[in-house]
Amino acid sequence: MREGQHVLANTYARYPILLVRGKGVKVWDSNGREYLDFVGGLAVCNLGHCHPKVVQALEEQARQLIHCSNFYYIGPQVELARRLCELSFGERVFFCNSGTEATEAAIKLARKYSTERYGPERYQIITMENSFHGRTMGALSATGQKKFHKGFEPLLPGFTYCPFDDLEAVAGAIGPQTCAVMVEPIQAEGGVNLPSPDYLKKLRELCDQTGTLLIYDEVQVGMGRTGKLFSYEHYDTPPHIMTLAKSLANGVPIGALVATDEVAQAFSPGDHASTFGGNPLATAVGCCVVDTLVGDGILENCQEMGGYLLKGLLGLKERYTFIKDVRGKGLIVGCELEFEGKKIVERCMDKGVLINCTADRVLRFLPPLIVTREEIDLLLKALDEVFSKR
Ligand SMILES: *Cc1c(COP(=O)(O)O)cnc(C)c1O
C-alpha cells in the first residue's frame, strides 16, 4: 500500500498500515493484526464498526433505492428530519454530505436571514480562536486557526475571531454588521476545550439582545459523543442553527443543518441545494443511527464509560508529572502533555491501540460509544507502558 504515497494527494501524513475490517471497537489490518480503535473513524463510528443494525439498514435501502433527485420527496430523508426535529430545538433540516458543507449551509443561511431582515451590510460572522469548521473556502475562513489558512488567502471576507470561552471579547466584537456567532460547544480539534458552565447561556443572551444568530457546530460532539444526543443539552441552551455530520450515519457520508422554522424560512427554492444531500441511502442509515443511539442505551454507556476513562487517565496523571491536564465530556476525552504527542500515538499503535493527537500536545480519545470497561483498561495499560518508557 506504500504506492499510495505516489498516487494519492499528499494531504495526510498516513501511518503505514492498511485497515481492511472492523467490528465493534476492533479493526484489523491487511496482515491480520488486531487494533483497539480509540479514534473511531475520527468520531464517526459512534455505534462501532459494522454495527449489525447499520449494515442491515444499508443493505435494505440499497435494494430499495440508492439515489433520487431532491426534485422529489425522499422517504428516509423526511423520516430523519422528523427525528432530528423531535429530539432537538430544530424545526427544519437541510441535508448535505459533510461537516464542511454543513458549515457552508449555516454561513449562507445566516447571511440570507440577516440580509432579508436587516439589509446587506449585516454579513459578519464571529467565530472562535482554535475552532475548526471545515476546509472549503467558507468553512476555512470560519476556522479560527492560522495554520489552516496559510497559503490559501485571500479568505472569504466577513469573519472575526474571538478567544473561546470569553464573553467580553464577543460582546466587544458584536456590532451592527454582525449577523451570527458560530461556536463549537466543546472545541474538539482545538484540543478538547470545555466552556465554563454558563458560557453558552450568556452567549445566547448576548445574541438575543443584539439580534444575532447563534450557530453551534455539533459536527464532532453531536450524535451522542458527549453522553447526550447533542452537546448543547449539557448547557441547557439551544441555538438558532446547528450543524451535524461525522457520526450522523456512522460512516456513510452525510451532513445536516438544523434550524428553527423562523430562521430556516430565509431559504427559498433555488437558494441552496445538494445533489447527494439527504439521499435515501445515507438518510436511511441516519434514521437507524438515531434510533439505536436513543433506544439501545448507548448514551448511558457513553456517560458511564466516559467517566471511567476520565478517572483512569486522572490516575495516570498522578503518576506522570508530564501530564498537564485531563479533560472531557462523555467519550471525547483529552490528555494534555507537556510535549508533542506524536511519538506516544506511534508507540500505542505498536501496542495495538489506535489513538489520536490534536493541537500538537493533546492525546484525544474518541472510541465508539459501545466501548467496554475491559477495552478501556487495555487502553490505560498500553498508555501506562508507553508513558513509563519515556
Ligand atoms: C470534522 C469537523 C468539521 C468538518 O467536517 P468534514 O466532514 O470533515 O467536512 C467541521 N466542524 C467540526 C467541529 C469538525 O470536527
Domain ranges of the chain: 2-50+297-388, 53-295
Domains 2-50+297-388 and 53-295 share a fold: no
Total residue length of the chain: 390
Q: Which atom of ligand 1 is nearest to the CA of 218?
A: 13
Nearest CA to ligand 1 atom 8: 99
pLDDT at 319 exceeding the cut of 90: yes
Whether the pLDDT of residue 155 is over 90: the answer is yes
Pocket mutation for ligand 1, best pick of 42, 136, 141, 219 (most atoms within 8 Å of C-beta): 219
What amino acid occupies position 388? Answer: S
Residue 102 CA, ligand 1 centroid: distance in Å? 9
Secondary structure letter of residue 212 according to DSSP: -
Three-class DSSP category at 164: coil
Q: Which atom of ligand 1 is nearest to the CA of 217?
A: 13
Averaged confidence pLDDT in the chain:
97
Among protein residues, the one whose CA lies closest to atom 6 of ligand 1: 99
Q: Which long-range contacts does 83-87 make (Cβ < 8 Å, 24+ apart)?
A: 83/287, 83/290, 83/291, 84/244, 84/256, 84/258, 84/290, 85/258, 87/229, 87/230, 87/290, 87/294
- What pLDDT is stored for residue 172 in this prediction? 98
Instruction: Tell me the pairing of strands 26-29 and 19-23.
Output: antiparallel
Query: Can you spell out the DSSP letters for 120-132?
Result: TT--EEEEEBT--
- Per-residue pLDDT at 5 exceeds 90: no
Q: Which atom of ligand 1 is nearest to the CA of 131?
A: 13
**CATH match of 53-295 with 3.40.470.10:** no
Give per-residue pLDDT as tens, 81-128: 999 999 999 999 999 999 999 999 999 999 999 999 999 999 999 999
Which atom of ligand 1 is found nearest the CA of 184? Answer: 13
* Burial degree of 212 (CB within 10 A; 0-12, 13-18, 19+): buried
Residue nearest to ligand 1 atom 5, measured at CA: 99
- For ligand 1, atom 10, the nearest C-alpha belongs to 133
Confidence band of 354 (pLDDT split at 50, 70, 90):
very high
Catalytic member of 228, 246, 329, 365: 246
Whether residue 246 lies in the annotated active site: yes
Annotated active-site residue 217? The verdict is yes
Q: Are strands 178-183 and 241-244 parallel, antiparallel or unpaired?
A: unpaired
Q: Residue 2: pLDDT above 90? A: no
Q: Where does ligand 1 bind, in terms of residues with CB under 6 Å?
A: 98-100, 103, 132-134, 184, 188-189, 217, 219-220, 245-246
Position 334 pLDDT exceeds 80: yes
The residue from 112, 164, 217, 228 that is catalytic is 217
pTM beyond 0.95: yes
Where do the H-state alpha helices sit in the chain?
4-7, 40-43, 52-64, 75-87, 99-118, 137-142, 146-149, 167-173, 199-210, 261-264, 280-295, 298-319, 342-350, 373-388
Atom of ligand 1 at shortest range from CA of 135: 9
Check if CATH label 3.90.1150.10 holds for domain 2-50+297-388.
yes
361 pLDDT tier (thresholds 50, 70, 90)? very high
Q: Give how far the C-alpha of residue 267 lies from the chain's centroid of Cα atoms, to the nearest Å.
A: 24
Q: Give the model's confidence band at 235: pLDDT under 50 very low, under 70 low, under 90 confident, else very high.
A: very high
214 has pLDDT over 80 = yes
Active site residue 296: no
| Mean per-residue pLDDT, 348-352 | 98
User: How many whole angstroms from 358 Cα to the centroid of ligand 1?
Assistant: 14
| C-alpha 242 – ligand 1 centre gap (Å) | 13
Q: How far is the CA of 255 from the centre of ligand 1 (A)?
A: 9
**Considering 132, 164, 230, 267, which one is annotated as catalytic?**
132
- pLDDT tier at 163, thresholds 50, 70, 90: very high
